[in-house]
Amino acid sequence: MREIIFDTETTGLDSREDRVIELGCVELDNRFPTGRTLHLFINPEGRPVHPDAHAVHGISDADLADKPTFAEILEDFLAFIEDAKLIAHNANFDIGFINAEFDRLGQPFVDPARVVDTLAIARRKHPMGPNSLDALCRRYGIDNSRRTKHGALLDAELLAEVYIELAGGKQATFGLEVAPAKPAEGERQAGGPVTLGSRVRPLAPRLSPAERQAHAAMVAEIGENALWLKTGHGMSEDGKQAESA
């Protein structure tokens, strides 16, 4: 199963007017990172980066001046995602911006059935929250110390680790199951009969003499109705366990 974890950075919050300026994608195969990524900076074609957005991701208008437009990166983006599931945190935001860019170019919208929102999964799994990407990294012990600013590729890489944990953890999906070893010739298989020989040296007693004496006194006080006597064991007067009957 092929999945693409992706994230966007934008010039602002309004997908009708603001533009995608960074794309980060990480490929998973059966929820295992393949090492393939796609990272693109995109020229917003005259739409300035809002100061509030710049404070979040640190990408300036000057940084984007020589970057390709969305139309110029469209083919590479479509080739990378192909027909894979698309995984994003608060996916409505990212898909809304992707669909707005597609609409400007006459490209069909992303099928909602392809989209998985990790924020919705996290809210179901951890209803008391918090469920931001940073909070989920802390919850699952994922190192996000590099995340001093939002960045599409870094966020996608962190989200890939979070998504694997939300889906049940690495060992549930990384194919770590080990087939049982075939028993050697003459070796007993699990579930077969077991024959135990006598111990060469008896185990050392686990009760102290005082404990044995106290037990014998209690049994004597109860008398012949003591359940201990009905087990086939008894205690001698000095508190030592007698031989089995």
Catalytic annotation, residues: 150
Q: Which tokens is 13 given?
A: 């919050």
Are 223 and 216 in contact by the 8 Å Cβ rule? The answer is no
Residues 161 and 174 sit within 8 Å (Cβ to Cβ): no
CA distance 199 to 193: 19
| Closest by Cα among 56, 122, 134, 137 to 91 | 122
Q: How far apart are CA 98 and CA 18, in angstroms?
A: 11
DSSP 49: P
The β-bridge relationship of strands 115-117 and 85-88 is parallel
